[in-house]
Amino acid sequence: MAFNLPEQVNHLIQKSSHILVVFGVNGNTDSAATELGLSLFLKKCGKRVEVASANYDAPKKLSFLPRAGTVRAGISNTQKSIITLDVTKTGLEDI
């Protein structure tokens, strides 16, 4: 039986030990906050997590968020797997 999308994502997360979460170079405050929230969730699941965005400069308005100062301004190593989710046209209830 084939996995549906949430099951596929869960399977990939479960079998991964080190996860890289990225958001676009033109990412806004919502993107950064969402990725930080995702990183906290993954960390609570026992995963080693890094968050990165090209040329990232943390806005002061996000400084209250846990891990806000840990976002890397680039990626130096090639990763084995990358999961990209485009949720621009997807409602929260569908994720």
Asked if 15 and 3 count as a contact pair (C-beta separation under 8 A), the reply is no
The tokens describing 23, both together, are: 């958001």
pLDDT tens, per residue, the chain with 95 residues: 577 888 888 888 899 988 988 887 766 788 888 888 999 999 999 999 988 888 777 778 888 888 888 888 777 665 565 666 666 776 656 65
Bridging pattern class, strands 18-22 and 48-52: parallel
The tokens describing 67, both together, are: 């891990």
For 31, 49, 56, the CA distances from 46, given in Å and listed in that order, are 23, 9, 26
pTM of the shown model? 0.69
Asked if 29 and 59 count as a contact pair (C-beta separation under 8 A), the reply is yes
Question: What is the average pLDDT value for the chain, to the nearest integer?
Answer: 79
Q: What is the pLDDT of residues 19-36, one digit of tens each?
A: 988 887 766 788 888 888
